[in-house]
Structure 1
């Protein structure tokens, strides 16, 4: 067998096969050894043309020619030198990963418990009034593009679309967030905890509530002296633990989470007993510097890949 790879070094081999005449020669020699005269007779071609085609097949190792004694005479017989040719294509090292993706609007929380300062707004108007937690129950909250509170939590329910034949490899959560200061304050630390399926993954200390300049996507009607943009944070959970922006945050990994459920819960919380109770601001599509809601991805591989 000839094992060829898909590169230019093997072009002579590919060119040797790129001929109907030479393929017919291979077919005839697969039946029995033949000399050039017999090949020419079967192909109805001149001896000179057949000799040229046989030579190309010889040069690439497909055909072997040798002198053989037959009926008292010596004949130059052609035989196939290989049984097969295998072409090895380059391995795709960075094959796209399979995943399910859900974009969760920040107003689609299913539970909350918050304390002022607080509020929420769509891209066109404030929902209710500032610092009144009751408006977190307003039906229009589902259209919110920004929300904020001084302490407490919001919790989201997420569907688990994985099939029994799909093995989860990693969970990835991406969102824009920051602290919540009265007005704005770049030096306003806040310890924000991430809790998935009731298990705390870890926490991140937001440095402040940014507002030096307007957010890239913040609506023009939004006041300059309140929350403008946050920090894009990416959480990854796999078998090795939980990572925040590529840095390990905790040893909590997939085995510690109840991922077999049909729905998962994600809670974002500023605890009352945290070292830095600086609140939380969530930026969704239409606000801040990143035009996205909470992005939730589950990477998996199909059972057939095992």
Structure 2
């Protein structure tokens, strides 16, 4: 997800989106995962020069990425969507009062893992499939994909606030999916979220997706396993708790009673009580379709004496 915290930060993106041709390019990439320049030019009936100009503007704005590959017909430029969601905060204020940290998905502080389960770095599986003991292996810190049929992953979020600062909003962004043996695109799973032990809501993942290869998956990752998830944005403030802008509960920051001394823990879980108990998978920056780990963002206010 691209998050524009104030309008001036988004000028390049807004300019890129001002062309109907560039909108059509984004639609084609969304439907086809990836296309080369010749494919795009043919489908849109554009010259090579025209398509190159439009692609350059989209790349400069950060909306797409371009990889170069060598094929039968020489070097090709392959275009991908960089992110599949764009969030613009029209009410943003004091945007300098914000910090964010990206936490590698293997840096959990507590866990429970019930098979099917496992974890992998960008280079290899950690230990063996379906053996929860390896969730305590020191190599798990480098894990960039983790899956479990039941249980939880809990992360400690640094609290950098000073005594004269108060929490306004906490956000979490991550790529998530269900967990099926192999993969199953139609495999709904209820995934719950907790902040400091308080349930802030849940989201039902539609499936454990494997119909197409994940954009950032390493070459060795087997095609019969889950390939990508969905990028989700969770926000909790004093209006309630939300996922992708939709309310998931009335739990507010005031109810959690946070201050500058508070420890922050964020838990992602699938429990016995879940109606759809079909596991979870979390993707790091070298797996799935989004080049990011667990992103935590804190917005805060400053008290003026």
TM-score, structure 2 as length reference: 0.68
Q: Deviations over 1:118-157 (max 9, x none)?
A: 0000001110010000000100000000000000111111
Structure 2 residue aligned with 1:277: 277
Matched, 1:301 2:301: yes
Partners of 2:264 and 2:138 in 1: how far apart? 23
Q: Distance in 2 between matches of 1:266 and 1:94?
A: 24
Alpha-carbon separation, structure 1, partners of 2:91 and 2:159: 28
Tell me which residue corresponds to 2:206.
207
- Corresponding position of 1:28: none
The 2-side partners of 1:140 and 1:96 are apart by 40
Q: Report which stretch shifted further, 181-190 or 259-268.
A: 259-268
Q: Distance in 2 between matches of 1:93 and 1:201?
A: 23
Answer yes or no: is the 8 Å Cα contact 1:197–1:258 preserved in 2.
no
> Per-residue deviation at 1:94?
5.8
Q: CA-to-partner distance for each residue in 1:157-196, whole Å, 9 max, x for gaps? A: 1121111111221111100000000001011110000011
Q: Summarize the Cα distance change of 1:236–1:100 in structure 2 as closer, same or farther, 3 Å threshold.
A: same
| Distance (Å, rounded) in 1 between the aligned partners of 2:291 and 2:242 | 23
Structure 1 match to 2:144: 145
Paired residues for 1:78-157 under 5 Å: 97=95, 98-157=97-156
Q: Distance in 1 between matches of 2:146 and 2:92?
A: 38
Quick check: 1:148–1:282 contact (8 Å CA) kept in 2?
yes
**CA 1:93–1:294: 2 relative to 1, 3 Å:** closer
Q: CA deviation at 1:303?
A: 2.0
Q: Secondary structure at the match of 1:205?
A: strand
Which residue pairs with 1:248 in the alignment?
247
Segments of 5+ residues of structure 1 without an aligned counterpart are 1-91
Contact 1:159 1:262 in 2 (8 A): no
Match of 1:225 in 2: 224
In 1: Cα distance, 2:92 partner to 2:156 partner: 32
Structure 1 equivalent of residue 172 of structure 2: 173
3-state SS of paired residue (2:139): helix
| Distance in 2, Cα, partners of 1:168 & 1:115 | 35
Count of residue pairs brought into register by the alignment: 214
* In 2: Cα distance, 1:95 partner to 1:277 partner: 40
Unaligned runs of 5+ in 2: 1-89
1:225–1:93 Cα change, 3 Å? closer
Separation (CA, whole Å) in 2 of partners of 1:231 and 1:242? 19
TM-fit CA distance, 1:293: 0.6
Task: Report the structure number with the largest CA radius of gyration.
Answer: 1
Once the two structures are TM-superposed, the CA of residue 301 in structure 1 deviates from its matched residue by 2.2
Whole-angstrom distance in 2 between the partners of 1:251 and 1:303: 26
TM-score (norm 1): 0.68
Distance in 1 between residues matched to 2:136 and 2:262, nearest whole Å: 26
Distance 2:212 2:180 in 1: 16
